[in-house]
Amino acid sequence: MTELAPSTRSRVLAALRDQRVETASWAFGNSGTRFKVFAQEGVPRDPFEKISDAATVHRFTGVAPTVALHIPWDKVDDYAALAAFAKERGVGLGAINSNVFQDDDYKLGSVTNPDARIRAKALAHLVECVDIMDATGSRDLKLWFSDGTNYPGQDSIRNRQDRLSEALAAVYDRLGDDQRMLLEYKFFEPAFYVTDVPDWGTAYAHCLTLGDKAQVVIDTGHHAPGTNIEFIVAILLRAGKLGGFDFNSRFYADDDLMVGAADPFQLFRIMCEIVSADVLKPEAGIAFMLDQCHNLEPKIQAVIRSVMNVQEATAKALLVDADALAAAQQNGDVLEANDVLMDAYHTDVRPLLRDLRADLGLDSDPVGAYKRSGYYETVKAERVGGNAAGWGA
C-alpha cells in the first residue's frame, strides 16, 4: 500500500473504527434456491443459536454488533429474554423483518390482496412486528412485499396501490417516536407482470407521503441489469430518504451472494456516495445490513467475508482525494476526475485493515482466526437433530 500521510491514515482508521454492519439471522440457517436447500452441519436450530453465530462474527470482525431478526422464522415466546441473551453475547437485536409472503393466503398478495380478510391478516402481522420491536428495543421495521400480479388484467394496478398505501399508513401510525419503517423494493419475483413495489421511485413516493419515520432501503440485488445503484443512493440521500441497505451481490437476478463478490467496483462506487455525503457514522441513521443466502458456502465464514468486503470498499472510498476530485470536476477534466477515483479503488487497503484490527485487539485475519477457534467443530458436534431454521428449511 502506498504510504499514507499521517493525517489521512488517522482519519480513515477513525471512520473504519466507527463503522457498523448488521448481520441477518437467516444467513446462518439452512437456505438455498427454489430448486434445492442443501443442509449443512452445525447450522442453528433456533433464534438463540443464530444469535450465537452472529456474535461469533462480531467477535472476529469487531464491526457487526447487531443482528436482524425475521418473523416468524425467529419467533419466540419471550423477546425480552432473546434480547438479554444477545446482550450477554456482546451483540444487540437490530431490524425486525416481516414476512407476508410464505402463507398460502398470500397467493394473490398480502396487504394488496383483493380479499379484505387477507389484507387484515397481513396488517395484523405487520403490527405484531412493531410489538416485537417494542420488546427488543429495535429501531427499524423492514418491509418487503412479494405482492403483485402475473398477468395483465389480473387486478387493478391503481387499486392495489391504494390498498398498499392504506396498510402502510396504519403501520406508520403504530410506530413509536424512535422507530422507523424501511420500505424495500424489488424489480420482479415472484410477481412477474407487476410488482407492487418494484423500484425506488415507488418506495420513495409512499415514504414521502407517510412522513419522516418512513425511509427507503436499497437491496443491491433488487434491480434490473445495468441499473446505476449509486445514482439511486445519491438521489435518496439528497432527499433525506435513504434508510439503509441490504448488501449482497448478484450476477443475474436476486442471487444473494456475498457482498462484493460479483462487482466489487460497484460496492466501492456506492460507498463513495456514502462517504461524500458524510453519512457513514451510525448516528447518520443509514443502516448497513447484510441480506444473503449462503446455500453452498460455510455460513459464518461467508458472513465474515462479506463484512470484510464492506470494510475494504469503505476504506477505498475513504481514500478518495475529495479536493482533487472536486477540482477536476470543476475544471471539466473528465479523465483526471476518473483517475482520482481509480487511484483510490486500486489501493491495497488490506494492510490498513490489519492495522485497524490490531487497534481493536482483534486477530488481523478474521477468517483464519475463526477457523482456528474451533467454534465450527463445537457447534457441529452440539447441534445434532432438530430442524434448522431458515429459508426453505
Average pLDDT (175-188) is 97
Q: Containing domain of residue 225, as a range?
A: 19-319
Q: What is the CATH number of the domain that holds 255?
A: 3.20.20.150
| pLDDT at residue number 197 | 98
Q: What's the mean pLDDT when you consider all of the chain?
A: 95
pLDDT at residue 387 greater than cutoff 70: no
- pLDDT of 389 higher than 70: no
Q: Which amino acid is at 377?
A: E
What would the pLDDT profile of 304-363 be if each residue is shown by its tens digit? 999 999 999 999 999 999 999 999 999 999 999 999 999 999 999 999 999 999 999 999
| 230, 278 Cβ separation under 8 angstroms | no
Binning pLDDT at 50, 70 and 90, where does residue 393 land?
A: very low
pLDDT, tens digit (0-9, with 9 covering 90-100), for 144-181: 999 999 999 999 999 999 999 999 999 999 999 999 99
pLDDT at 325: 98
- Tell me if 333 is assigned to some domain: no
Could you tell me if 61 and 367 are in contact, meaning their C-beta atoms sit under 8 angstroms apart?
Answer: no
Give the pLDDT mean for 62-90.
Answer: 97
Contact 218, 182 (CB under 8 A): no
What is the sign of the dihedral through the CA atoms of 46, 52, 58 and 61?
Answer: negative
For the chain, state the CA radius of gyration.
21
Q: For residue 59, what pLDDT is reported?
A: 98
In a domain, 6, yes or no: no
What's the sign of the alpha-carbon dihedral 193, 196, 198, 201?
Answer: positive
Residue-wise pLDDT for 213-253, tens only, equals 999 999 999 999 999 999 999 999 999 999 999 999 999 99
Count: domains in the chain: 1
Q: Is 3 within a domain?
A: no
**Any domain includes 230:** yes
Instruction: Tell me the three cell numbers of residue 118.
Output: 387477507
8 A C-beta contact, residue 261 and residue 232? no
For range 118-139, the mean pLDDT: 98
pLDDT in tens, 15-54: 999 999 999 999 999 887 777 888 899 999 999 999 999 9
Judge if the upstream peptide bond of residue 264 is cis by omega within 30 degrees of 0: no
* Section 62-84 average pLDDT: 97
Report if residue 358 sits inside a domain: no
Q: How far is CA 318 from CA 207, 221, 240, 322, in A?
A: 30, 24, 22, 9
pLDDT range class, residue 386, cuts 50, 70, 90: low
Instruction: Look at residue 1 and tell me if it is in a domain.
Output: no
335 occurs within a structural domain: no
Helix residue ranges per DSSP H, the chain? 6-18, 47-61, 79-88, 116-136, 157-174, 200-210, 229-239, 264-276, 299-318, 322-330, 334-345, 350-359, 366-373, 375-382
Cα dihedral 222, 224, 225, 229, rounded to 10, equals -60
pLDDT at 293: 87
pLDDT of residue 35: 78
What pLDDT was estimated at residue 390? 58
381, part of any domain:
no
